[in-house]
Structure 1
């Protein structure tokens, strides 16, 4: 399902880019051009996400015993970088128009084509975010959020270009383009920040960690303490590591049973999590 969703993103991204390019050709609007330039990023990012998802779906091997799921983060980082590049390209096109605003033509047909592209993008964005969350895929979620931001900026551009045509204030056209550039620059920064956090083994979110700590708040009989709780995420996979303190004379079989019980609790609190438990004797207890 995930590679299929990424493929849909690529195909519909090409369609939307073609429609937005047509809207620009009909009107000559630099704001609509900025909307089309952002869609180029959608297409390239969708291709990168498709390739990354194929790599991340590979099972663990001798060289990658924890799997290949971090490949998705490279896709999200690339998308963020491309968004930043698009923002600067838009600014380059819009700034000269501030000094010489240009009347636009073909506003009606152009805005109609752009609205159609926006509707297709909205359906695609909601689908990608839903599938990304269902499969815990940062690449699909990042792609979906970017497409959704594209929908919002497209709506702003449509309203602004329509207002410029109605009032004759053609300087609104390059101003809108610069606002689009600033908005997607911020989105690009957020995408890169999230993905770099994943590549740097950033811990799970506060809400997820709270669920884990709640599961550990009442230990099974025989367990004395847990400490050194560590978490990280690699694409759709979550990892938890902790130390479990037990009586020094506890049989190995009993300690193993406690580990199984504790692991089951954590997986109930956070489905799909992979747990590593290190057994320690009571002399290693840290208290608290």
Structure 2
């Protein structure tokens, strides 16, 4: 799993990359006066703000637990992702407004080839950085970094659609395609923003791990509970990169505390190896508490 320091360095560089991409898209819009390229540049403004928020959220999330936050600050990343989703929705509404104003008065584009080439370079840069953020964020179980990467990837898809539409508009003279493409962009990022907010809210509500992951946890416990009679009431929840696992372990009534403790240590060690960073809580119960024996 990537270290906290590495995550924060990547988050810091995300701000630099976002500013560079925004500058390129702003230049493309300024050269062409295209409302579709304006919409693409507007989304990059959101990228800059979101990268700053993600960097700050990562710093807070990795602050050690204290007296007021004994379980840590992991959920700070979800607030970052929610804010990013809200910013995306706001940007989409601004794009829709601008596009609607131009839709009924389409205009030719200035220097379209140069503008499209610049925007294409920005899209390639965004794509490479999005891949890095998503892959690193998934390894680190960082909602803020994954959200930032997914937003950038949506930006790449948006740019590809905008470029395709504007190439067609220049080739055919159908300049009404410019505001139409901007509206398509706005609807696409509006959907993405709504989806991102929904995912982040689920995280704030202590969502359980995925079914496949839960099955792996059950196998690890079953493979390491020799000496115990059964386990039940397995519960999991995720908070940013932290994962909490708790369950009841039933042991023979005449087993000593020390023997039961050895079993718990073995299970905890196996779980922490299979689930790096997991916080494991085991409630030991006597034989008559068994549910399935």
- Which residue number in structure 1 is paired with residue 3 of structure 2? none
| 1:49 to partner: Cα distance | 0.4
Deviation at 1:267, TM superposition (A): 2.5
Paired residue for 1:47?
A: 52
SS in 1 for 2:72: coil
Q: 2:250 aligns with which of 231, 242, 245?
A: 245
1:266 deviation in Å?
Answer: 2.1
Question: Could you tell me which residue of structure 2 aligns to residue 138 of structure 1?
Answer: 143
Say whether the 8 Å CA contact 2:224–2:266 is kept in structure 1.
Answer: no
Counterpart in 2 of 1:67? 72
Q: Using the alignment, how far apart are the partners of 2:49 and 2:225 within structure 1?
A: 51
Post-superposition offset of 1:219: 5.5
TM-score, structure 1 normalization: 0.96
Instruction: State how far apart, in whole Å, the 1-side matches of 2:31 and 2:199 are.
Output: 38
- Residue in 2 that maps onto 1:148: 153
The equivalent position to 1:210 in structure 2, one of 215, 226, 233, is 215
In structure 2, distance between residues paired with 1:47 and 1:206: 33
Q: Alpha-carbon deviation of 1:192? A: 1.0
1:19-58 to structure 2, matched below 5 A, reads 19-58=24-63
Q: Matched residues in 2 for 1:140 and 1:269: separation?
A: 22
Q: Contact between 1:219 and 1:225, CA under 8 Å: does it hold in 2?
A: no
For the residues of structure 2 that align with 1:287 and 1:262, how far apart are their CA atoms? 20
C-alpha distance in 2, partners of 1:6/1:175?
Answer: 34
CA contact (8 A) 1:211 1:270 kept: no
* C-alpha distance after superposition, 1:230-272 (max 9, x if no partner): 1011111111010001112211001101111122232233232
Instruction: Kindly state the Cα deviation for residue 277 of structure 1 after the two structures are TM-superposed.
Output: 0.1
* CA distance in 1 between partners of 2:170 and 2:102 (Å): 16
Does structure 1 conserve the Cα–Cα contact (< 8 Å) formed by 2:208 and 2:238? yes
TM-score normalised to structure 2 length? 0.95
Unaligned runs of 5+ in 2: 1-5
Q: Are the counterparts in 1 of residues 165 and 178 from structure 2 also a CA contact under 8 Å?
A: yes
Distance in 1, Cα, partners of 2:278 & 2:213: 11
Measure, in 2, the Cα distance between the counterparts of 1:245 and 1:229. Answer: 12
Superposed CA RMSD: 1.3
8 Å contact 1:243–1:277 — kept in the other structure? Answer: yes
Pairing partner for 1:102 from 99, 107, 124: 107
Cα distance in 2, alignment partners of residues 216 and 236 from structure 1? 21
CA contact (8 A) 2:224 2:270 kept: no
